[in-house]
Amino acid sequence: GNSVTQMEGPVTLSEEAFLTINCTYTATGYPSLFWYVQYPGEGLQLLLKATKADDKGSNKGFEATYRKETTSFHLEKGSVQVSDSAVYFCALTLNAGGTSYGKLTFGQGTILTVHP
């Protein structure tokens, strides 16, 4: 089956530090990969995505590269801010049609706290 594994949190950083949150996946087909972010008290928002191998998704200073050879999609940011404190979820969906209907498989989430 399909699965997503994220590095365990919580992650605590000082402002302007470098961030990496690891994500690896297993999939039976050719997945699209996503990072979603959940700010306190809110639902999930799409942060970035990549639909094929070697694609790089980027948004708000965050980046992640789809690495098929290592089945990974690690999230990085060069300089985090206090406002980046949130829960981050890695997820995949299979691109094949049929009955998948774009179902997402999520990792367990990583809590990030950034201190001033």
Partner 1 sequence: DVKVTQSLRYLVKRTGEKVFLECVQDMDHENMFWYRQDPGLGLRLIYFSYDVKMKEKGDIPEGYSVSREKKERFSLILESASTNQTSMYLCASKDSRAGTQYFGPGTRLLVL
d(CA 7, CA 9): 6
For partner 1, the closer CB: 62 or 89:
89
Judged by CB, which is closer to partner 1: 84, or 107? Answer: 107
Number of continuous H segments (helices) and E segments (strands) in the chain: 0, 12
CB 108, min distance to partner 1, A = 4
Least distance CB 101 / partner 1 (angstroms): 5
Exposed/middle/buried for residue 34 (C-beta within 10 Å: 0-12, 13-18, 19+): buried
Q: How far is the CB of 18 from partner 1 (least distance, A)?
A: 25
Q: How far is CA 57 from CA 1, 15, 37, 80, in A?
A: 25, 23, 14, 17
Q: Which is nearer to partner 1, 26 or 79 (CB)?
A: 26
Q: Which residues bind partner 1 (CB under 8 A)?
A: 4, 32, 34, 36, 41-46, 49, 51, 89, 91, 93, 95, 99, 101-104, 106-109
